[in-house]
Amino acid sequence: MSETIQTISKWHGGFCIEVAPLPCLIVIFGALGDLTGRKLLPSLYHLHQRGLLHEQSTLIACGRQEMSHEQYRNYIRTLDGMGKTDQLEQFLSKVFYHAGDYTLPETTARLATLVDDLENKMENQTSCRLFYLATAPAVYLPIVEQLANAGLTTELSAVTEKIVYPWRNVIFEKPFGNDFASAVELEQGLLRYLTEKQIYRIDHYLGKETVQNILMFRFANILFEPVWNRNYIDSVTITVSETVGVEHRAGYFEKAGLLRDMFQNHMLEMLSLVAMECPVSFSADRIRDEKVRLLHSIRMPDQKTLEQNLILGQYIAGNAMPGYREEAGVAHDSNTETFAALKLYIDNSRWQGIPFYLRSGKRMKQKKSEIIINFKHIPYSIFSPVKPEDLAQNRLILTVQPEEGLALDIIAKRPGPKLCMGDLTMNFKYSSILDPGENMPEAYERLLLDCMLGDQTLFIRSDSVRLAWQLLAPVLEYKKQITPFPYQAGTEGPIQAMEMIRRDGRTW
């Protein structure tokens, strides 16, 4: 068996460890889809540029439209960010196209022949296989069934350090079900053909540098973990706002709504990383064990308190932008929520009594994804006549997008009079440490690389999926009974969401 290549280098007093995967045959279903063109192909090309795609690795792009290998390569050449370089041509030499109906046995039989032909040309005539389902969820199970029947997902018996080699992994995009029952049904269907170890449920937010950094920020620095609890933290707010509307996703969004689209996955995943206990090791199962324990501890509002602690909204026309009901593909009387704000608690010794405020919306004033840790006021002020409550709270701000980084708000003396105090922000942007011309790695690069390495740390386990749907069930039931509050496009959302947090003496 070939060895993976591990690179270790020092970085500002620390260490960088990167592992390049073994030869891997990558199959993407949905070759001409938006996700493949905007994210997957550029990410694989960037991995190739960084030397993190094995030289013997190959890519098969599966689409329904008939075209030749070279026609598909020409399509890739037109994608944003590809350019015209020798490296691109080297990458394109690894790319092949396969056409047909994904659900038909003859399509998969021809795919299996192409896979065999490509693997037979490899040095050891075998490789790991990664199947990426960038398709509608409705065809997940039929595709997996065909792959299994053709023997394409069958793992061989060679075992190295408890890892089956070569592995056959399958990536699934969200949504993974649309409620608890459908998620369980899909899971049971997939487990007829795959093991849980082969299933990679992707949430691209977990691939973002700032989100990954939460673990290191908390557990590699003695400065923060001792105060990461109810004794020192007043509240936590998590915001994911977008300036765009539903764009081309109206068909999906009308059925899903904002709660299913953002809260069941992105929001709860980020909350888990912020609030979970320290795992015993930096390994996939230990980290995901703690995330599951955290989800078990979440106390959602009950039916009596949902009206006060859940605000749903829908954008209307404003600031030269159309309303949600005016978007193409949206019903003129739709009650689908495009904004949600939720207050919840975590019932454990670390967080008892501390509120967590989550909000997300479309057609908001600005594009922003951030986690804010609001610390308590100092217990006593020696700076008379300044009272503790007169001083702004210390805040730690983790910015996920648009510009990844972190900031710490503290109180400091300002130049001038003897007693002149005010906020000082210590601000760090990841872009500041990049080389000239270098860009932040795309989240999909990290996730694709991890899947090729057989590392499930940043992927969602089945018990997390079920728990998230169970937590959201009463909220989804409640939303059937109400009409979302209107808010103008291009604003901060419904005023009711502002009032909800102001009642507690806090702000977003």
* Phi–psi pair at 370, nearest 5 degrees: -150, 155
Claim to verify: residue 140 and residue 232 sit in the same structural domain: no
Claim to verify: residue 167 and residue 221 sit in the same structural domain: no
Cα gap 183→407, rounded to integer Å: 38
Cα gap 24→400, rounded to integer Å: 30
Phi and psi based region of residue 148 (left: phi greater than 0; alpha: psi -120 to 50; beta: remaining): alpha
119, 152, 173 - which closes a domain: 173
pLDDT at 433: 81
- Is residue 183 situated within a structural domain? no
pLDDT at 384: 86
CATH code for position 152: 3.40.50.720
pLDDT in tens, 424-476: 999 998 888 877 777 778 899 999 999 999 999 999 999 999 999 999 999 99
Claim to verify: residue 160 and residue 214 sit in the same structural domain: no
pLDDT in tens, 133-154: 999 999 999 999 999 999 999 9
- Amino acid sitting at position 386: V
173, 194, 217 - which closes a domain: 173
pLDDT in tens, 255-300: 999 999 999 999 999 999 999 999 999 999 999 999 999 999 999 9
Claim to verify: residue 13 and residue 107 sit in the same structural domain: yes
- Is residue 195 situated within a structural domain? no
Lowest-confidence region among 62-66, 167-171, 380-384: 380-384
Which are the contacts of 378, defined by CB distance < 8 A and separation ≥ 6? Answer: 388, 391
Claim to verify: residue 28 and residue 74 sit in the same structural domain: yes
* 331: nearest Cα among 419, 253, 222: 253
Claim to verify: residue 169 and residue 234 sit in the same structural domain: no
- Is residue 455 situated within a structural domain? yes
The arithmetic mean of pLDDT across residues 405-431, rounded, is 87
pLDDT grade, residue 1 (50/70/90)?
A: very low
Task: Provide, rounded to the nearest whole percent, the portion of the chain with pLDDT above 90.
Answer: 77
- Is residue 198 situated within a structural domain? no
Task: Provide, rounded to the nearest whole percent, the portion of the chain with pLDDT above 70.
Answer: 94
Question: Is the model's pLDDT at 312 over the cut of 80?
Answer: yes
* Mean pLDDT, the chain, whole residue set: 91
Question: Is the model's pLDDT at 159 over the cut of 90?
Answer: no
* Candidate list 204, 266, 296, 332, residue with the active-site label: 266
Claim to verify: residue 314 and residue 230 sit in the same structural domain: yes
* 107: nearest Cα among 63, 153, 171: 63
Residue 203 DSSP symbol: -
- Is residue 186 situated within a structural domain? no
Which are the contacts of 314, defined by CB distance < 8 A and separation ≥ 6? Answer: 323, 324, 325, 334, 335, 336, 337, 338, 339, 484, 485, 486, 487
CA 65 to centroid of chain Cα atoms: 30
Question: Is the model's pLDDT at 166 over the cut of 70?
Answer: yes
Three-state secondary-structure class, residue 381: coil
Domain hosting residue 44, numbered range: 5-173
- Is residue 72 situated within a structural domain? yes
pLDDT in tens, 199-209: 999 999 899 88
Claim to verify: residue 169 and residue 47 sit in the same structural domain: yes
Claim to verify: residue 227 and residue 143 sit in the same structural domain: no
Is 79:41 a contact under the CB 8 Å cutoff? yes
pLDDT at 15: 55
- Is residue 495 situated within a structural domain? yes
pLDDT at 413: 86
- Is residue 416 situated within a structural domain? yes
Which are the contacts of 495, defined by CB distance < 8 A and separation ≥ 6? Answer: 485, 487
- Structurally, the chain folds into a number of domains equal to 2
Claim to verify: residue 285 and residue 329 sit in the same structural domain: yes
* Phi–psi pair at 76, nearest 5 degrees: -60, -40
Higher pLDDT: 14 or 70? It is: 70
Claim to verify: residue 218 and residue 155 sit in the same structural domain: no
**Omega into 23 within 30° of 0, i.e. cis?**
no
Concatenated DSSP letters for 426-462?
Answer: EEEEGGGGSPTT--PPPHHHHHHHHHHHT--TTSB-H
CATH code for position 310: 3.30.360.10
pLDDT at 432: 85
266 is catalytic: yes
Question: Is the model's pLDDT at 163 over the cut of 70?
Answer: no
User: Checking DSSP bridges between strand 356-361 and strand 199-201, what pairing results, if any?
Assistant: unpaired
Claim to verify: residue 161 and residue 218 sit in the same structural domain: no
**Omega into 42 within 30° of 0, i.e. cis?**
no
